Chain A
Amino acid sequence: MLSGELVTLRPVRVDDLPALYETWRDPSTWIAVSDAALWPMPFAVFEQRYAKYAADEELEFAIEVAGELVGRCSLYQVDLHSRHADLGITVGHPYRGKGYGRDAVGVLLDYAFNKRNLHRVQLEVLATNDGAINSYVANGFVEEGRLREHAYVNGTFVDVVAMSVLRTEWLGSRGGR
């Protein structure tokens, strides 16, 4: 559906769910993205929630590399009045460190600005997640500050970094329309 240099973004399919469930409950994912408690959610509940989430017009994409599912990403909490959205992405443990996340973020930003006419894309990321922060900076995200001790991960409170990229900045740097 949407192509980058390394990845393809496409709608999530029913047969993606087992792999997405494994990534979702992998503790290494939790340590990286934790914004909710890790709990033993049964697959049936995950399936149900995911179906509802996808149906509620959230802009959720599966990330594929050479036909293989490597993660998911989305634009969510879309504010149609102020024209901004939050960006979220998860890459499965075996697929990290290969540039897939960075490429997927670029594809999603092109979608947000050129296809959906948004003004601003924002995100929050744990201050300890250097890999993710580097990917976001590489795509033009600017740090706007830190929410102090806003998250709790593995025994300690952690700061959350707020970042954003504006339409004017992104289009200016890409020569988009």
Chain B
Amino acid sequence: MLREGDLELRAMTPDDLPAMYEWSIDAATNFLNGGVPLLPVTWERFRDKWSERPSGPDAEDFTVAVDGIQVGFCQLTLFDHLARSAMIGITLAPSVRGQHVGRRAVALLLRHAFVDRGLHRVWLGTLATNEPALRAYRAVGFVEETRGREISWIDGRYVDGIRMGLLRSEWELANAVG
């Protein structure tokens, strides 16, 4: 649906769920995401909970694919229609981390947010310890806005959370729209 070179953000299908299940129970991935405890969730429960997720204009879920192969998941969600903002999130398979796939996918998602959806602001949250994510978000223009002190319990200790935001005017300046 959204493309740039060999990268595509496309609608999720049920075939995408098994890989997403594996990422969800992977300890290292959990430690990058924060917010959700590492739990022994069965495949059946994961699949059933996923089918209960609301989907629609307010909860856009995408599979990230490179050369047609599923490599991650990203979303534009928590829409605030009054303030015209939404949150982005992204998870990548361990095999494609460190190759700028994340920042390319986020760049596509930002164009969709500002141009297709007409948003005023896009924001995100990540762990202060997730340096690769912070670098990728800064590279596409996000500004650090808040540090949530000791907001997540990860692997034996409390970790800070960083929230970042990007305003439409900033994105347009950097992307020379119109």
Contacts and interface: CB of A to CB of B under 8 A. Distances in A.
Nearest to B154: A82
B82 A150 contact: no
Contacts, number: 71
B123 A150 contact: yes
A83 B153 contact: yes
Interface in B14-42: 35-37
B19 to A, nearest CB: 25
The prevalent SS among residues of B at the interface is strand
A145 B148 CA distance: 9
A147 B163 contact: yes
Interface size class of B (residues with CB under 8 A): 20 to 34
Contacts of B47: none
Interface string B30-72: 0000011100000000000000000000000000000000000
A4 to B, nearest CB: 26
Contacts of B145: 145-148, 162
Contacts of A35: 80
Contact of A147 (B81, B149, B158, B165): B165
Interface string A134-151: 000000001011111111
Contacts of B111: none
Contacts of A79: 35
Interface residues of A, number: 26
Interface in A117-153: 119-120, 122, 142, 144-152
A166 B145 CA distance: 19
Contact of B121 (A84, A148, A166): A148
Contacts of A147: 123, 145-146, 163, 165
A95 interface: no
Given A122-B148, A152-B83, 12 more contacts: A79-B35, A82-B151, A83-B153, A120-B151, A142-B149, A145-B146, A146-B145, A150-B83, A150-B123, A150-B165, A162-B163, A164-B148
**What 3 A-B pairs come out closest when comparing CB atoms?**
A145-B146, A81-B37, A162-B146
Interface of B: 35-37, 80-85, 120-121, 123, 143-153, 158, 163, 165, 167
